[in-house]
């Protein structure tokens, strides 16, 4: 049985983690299917926004510990193909976190561009409590967190509220379960209103600029801005604004 489900509605692809029995843990099968679904989303020109969500009460419980301790051979997915891919993709990824999120699941939530969670969900970097460390996911979590928050959360291994995850910068908002779809739909609507090239360029900004010296950053962003203003998408967007009509890419 497939552990990851996909659905395309309009220009939005929804990818659902559907291994409720194992709390959507990152088994080889689930991770492989998830990476395959992400590949489809990234390369399908009809997809403009991707929503990642879950079935059951757990968004993702992290590594499949039973599988990790078994003697059955298997091929692990390169973490760069999963956690590291979201900021490289030109398309925006939205997390619809409809359940608890711990360990490797924290890496998924933090790696997404925008994440909305139900306010009753619990979060946590629980790795130290089983004798390991939040190693690979630290690459995507640490840039979003204050050093003091990261050090405390990583070392304590405790679980904390969705609102605390918002405060730490790991996710963007926490809402009552009855408002989850409304909040996600609002985010998706905003993303569809932006030009696809502009969205891709904006993701580049967020990924590249923080690592550049100031002078180099100004040079790089000036060149990017000039390229965008000279493009067909900008011409259409500015014309639509002046004519007080939606741009051609708006559904």
> Tokens 């992290």 sit at which residue?
62
DSSP E strands in 85-191: the ranges are 93-97, 100-102, 114-118, 122-124, 159-161, 173-175
Classify 136 as helix, strand or coil.
coil
Digit-coded pLDDT (tens) for 39-70: 999 999 999 999 999 999 999 999 999 887 76
| Residues 98 and 120: beta-carbon distance below 8 Å | no
* Pairing of β 114-118 and β 173-175: parallel
Q: Would 251 be classed as within a structural domain?
A: no
- CATH number reported for the structural domain that contains residue 140 in this entry: 3.90.226.10
How far is Cα 17 from Cα 20, in angstroms, rounded to an integer? 8
Q: Which residue range is the domain that position 182 belongs to?
A: 4-192
Q: Does the active-site annotation cover 183?
A: no
Mean pLDDT of 202-209: 94
How far is Cα 176 from Cα 97, in angstroms, rounded to an integer? 12
State whether 135 and 212 are in the same domain: no
State whether 166 and 202 are in the same domain: no
How far is Cα 243 from Cα 247, in angstroms, rounded to an integer? 10
The DSSP secondary-structure symbol of 10 reads T
| Tally of structural domains, the chain | 2
Digit-coded pLDDT (tens) for 146-200: 999 999 999 999 999 999 999 999 999 999 999 999 999 999 999 999 999 999 9
Digit-coded pLDDT (tens) for 66-81: 887 765 555 566 777 8
Mean pLDDT of 193-212: 95
Q: What is the pLDDT of residue 78?
A: 76
State whether 110 and 14 are in the same domain: yes
Distant-in-sequence, close-in-space partners of 178: CB < 8 Å, separation ≥ 6 = none
State whether 13 and 92 are in the same domain: yes
Q: Would 249 be classed as within a structural domain?
A: no
State whether 161 and 180 are in the same domain: yes
State whether 56 and 85 are in the same domain: yes
Alpha carbon 149 to its chain's center:
20
How far is Cα 247 from Cα 235, in angstroms, rounded to an integer? 10
CA dihedral 76, 126, 179, 190 (to 10 degrees): -50
Catalytic residue among 33, 127, 183, 233: 127
Q: What is the pLDDT of residue 72?
A: 59
Q: Would 248 be classed as within a structural domain?
A: no
State whether 173 and 207 are in the same domain: no
State whether 134 and 228 are in the same domain: no
Q: What integer best gives the mean pLDDT of the chain?
A: 95
State whether 13 and 110 are in the same domain: yes
Q: What is the pLDDT of residue 89?
A: 95
The DSSP secondary-structure symbol of 26 reads B
Digit-coded pLDDT (tens) for 15-36: 999 999 999 999 999 999 999 9
State whether 147 and 222 are in the same domain: no
More confident site: 209 or 66: 209
State whether 147 and 225 are in the same domain: no
How far is Cα 121 from Cα 167, in angstroms, rounded to an integer? 14
Q: What is the pLDDT of residue 74?
A: 57
Digit-coded pLDDT (tens) for 95-140: 999 999 999 999 999 999 999 999 999 999 999 999 999 999 999 9
């Amino acid at each position: 049985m497939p552990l990851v489900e996909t659905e395309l509605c309009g220009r939005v692809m929804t990818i659902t983690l559907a291994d409720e029995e194992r709390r959507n843990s990152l088994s080889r099968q689930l991770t492989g299917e998830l990476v395959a679904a992400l590949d489809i989303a990234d390369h399908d020109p009809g997809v403009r926004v991707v929503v990642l969500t879950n079935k059951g009460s757990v968004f993702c419980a992290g590594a499949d510990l039973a599988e990790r301790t078994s003697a059955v051979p298997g091929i692990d997915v390169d973490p760069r193909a999963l956690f590291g891919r979201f900021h490289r993709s030109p398309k925006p990824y939205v997390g619809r976190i409809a359940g608890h999120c711990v360990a490797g699941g924290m890496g998924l939530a933090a790696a997404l561009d925008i994440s909305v969670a139900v306010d009753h969900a619990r979060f946590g970097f629980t790795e130290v409590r089983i004798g390991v460390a939040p190693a690979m996911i630290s690459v995507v979590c640490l840039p979003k967190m204050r050093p003091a928050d990261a050090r405390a959360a990583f070392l304590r291994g405790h679980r904390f509220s969705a609102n605390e995850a918002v405060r730490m910068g790991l996710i963007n908002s926490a809402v009552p379960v009855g408002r989850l779809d409304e909040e996600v739909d609002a985010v998706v609507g905003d993303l569809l209103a932006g030009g696809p090239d502009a969205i891709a360029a904006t993701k580049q900004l967020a990924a590249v600029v923080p690592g550049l010296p100031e002078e180099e950053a100004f040079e790089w962003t000036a060149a990017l801005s000039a390229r965008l203003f000279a493009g067909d998408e900008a011409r259409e967007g500015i014309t639509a604004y002046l004519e007080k009509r939606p741009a051609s890419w708006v559904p």
